């Protein structure tokens, strides 16, 4: 990794941006019924894009890369405008003529839990990314999402070969022989994705099974139950979640991944990077607005200072 002691860590975020239409409702409607929404919002999302917002807010420098729909469609223009507002680079996003940028309907209930319906054009997975030298020349770390494995794995393998950390948000069940699992340096899984990948609902058994496959660091995020991970001695460790009153969980996991990548890119060890990520995600959950409700670095540092812990 490049020396980031005197500058912000530069993170290449690879994924598929999404335009999110959010609706705040009292309860998910029964089949065939209608419900009114008490609030509406229009934001952009997608795992990597949400994480890039977290990176930019929390002390890093983010550059987005991945497929987009046609340059003339409204969703693509909306997303580019939002990235510019956050100071996130978009030079490596690839417009694909005739295709549609993904769009989601997000229903948020009073507990902050979200239900999501997304359309993703199958043609987006046929994207040809820019060459590795172009993408990696100013890159201290890569953050990507598991659903993009078909087009990111060769680049991630090359980054790892060059000593550049590759953090993968494992958000869907993967086959155990998928190359991205061994191309990555850090695998941070949702509980559902880990269980589906490993074929067991026991967190410890699933992490051990994944660790036998790869040299990568492995962890599973479990919402309010905190994060379970294996240290370099293959011992289980836990990072507690920060207790908060949650109003909107949309984007919280992505902010966690972005926060972890920034902290690790700054040279923090795994335990401190996970605690930093947990604090960022917790604060995000206290505010509505998806990843755009990500806290600032100062807010995260303040929460960490107020919440001393023993040995990590």
Residue 308 scores a pLDDT above 90 = no
| pLDDT given for residue 166 in this prediction | 99
Q: What does the pLDDT look like over 83-117, one tens digit per residue?
A: 999 999 999 999 999 999 999 999 999 988 889 99
| pLDDT given for residue 3 in this prediction | 53
Give residue 192's Cα distance to chain centre.
Answer: 15
Beta-ladder partners of 143? 13, 167
- Residue 263 DSSP SS3: helix
Q: What does the pLDDT look like over 43-79, one tens digit per residue?
A: 999 999 999 999 999 999 999 999 999 988 888 899 9
What H or E segment, with its residue span, contains residue 236? strand 236-239
Q: What does the pLDDT look like over 15-52, one tens digit per residue?
A: 999 999 999 999 999 999 999 999 999 999 999 999 99
Residue 1 scores a pLDDT above 50 = no
| pLDDT given for residue 309 in this prediction | 62
Beta-ladder partners of 166? 142
**Alpha-carbon distances, residue 245 vs 111, 286, 288 (angstroms):** 9, 6, 12
Q: What is the CATH number of domain 10-15+47-100+129-306?
A: 3.40.1190.20
| pLDDT given for residue 112 in this prediction | 85
Q: What is the pTM of this model?
A: 0.92
Residue 2 scores a pLDDT above 70 = no
Residue 230 scores a pLDDT above 90 = yes
Secondary structure in 3-state letters for 107-152: EECCCCCEEEEEECCHHHHHCCCCCHHHHHCCCCEEEEEHHHHHHH
């Amino acid at each position: 990794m490049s020396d980031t002691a005197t500058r912000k860590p530069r993170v290449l975020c690879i994924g598929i941006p999404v335009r999110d239409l959010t609706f705040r409702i009292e309860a998910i409607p029964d089949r065939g019924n209608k419900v009114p929404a008490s609030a509406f919002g229009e934001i952009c999302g997608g795992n990597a894009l949400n994480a890039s917002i977290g990176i930019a807010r929390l002390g890093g420098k983010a550059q987005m890369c991945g497929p987009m729909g046609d340059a003339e469609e409204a969703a693509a223009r909306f997303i580019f405008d939002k990235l510019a507002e956050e100071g996130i680079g978009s030079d490596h996003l690839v417009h694909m003529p005739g295709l549609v940028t993904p769009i989601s309907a997000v229903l948020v209930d009073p507990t902050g839990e979200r239900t999501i319906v997304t359309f993703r054009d199958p043609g987006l997975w046929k994207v040809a990314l820019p060459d590795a030298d172009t993408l990696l020349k100013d890159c201290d770390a890569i953050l990507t999402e598991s659903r993009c494995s078909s087009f990111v794995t060769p680049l991630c393998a090359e980054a790892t070969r060059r000593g550049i950390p590759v953090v993968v948000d494992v958000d869907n069940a993967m086959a155990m022989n998928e190359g991205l699992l061994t191309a990555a340096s850090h695998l941070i899984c949702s509980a559902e994705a880990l269980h589906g990948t490993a074929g067991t609902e026991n967190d410890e058994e699933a992490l051990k099974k994944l660790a036998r496959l790869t040299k990568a660091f492995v962890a599973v995020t479990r919402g309010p139950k905190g994060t379970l991970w294996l240290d370099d001695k293959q011992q289980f460790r836990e990072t507690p979640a920060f207790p908060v009153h949650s109003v909107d969980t949309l984007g919280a996991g992505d902010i966690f991944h972005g926060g972890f990548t920034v902290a690790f890119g700054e040279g923090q060890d795994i335990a401190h990077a996970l605690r930093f990520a947990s604090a960022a995600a917790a604060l995000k959950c206290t505010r509505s607005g998806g990843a755009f409700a990500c806290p600032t670095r100062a807010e995260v540092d303040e929460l960490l200072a107020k919440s001393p812990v023993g040995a990590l």
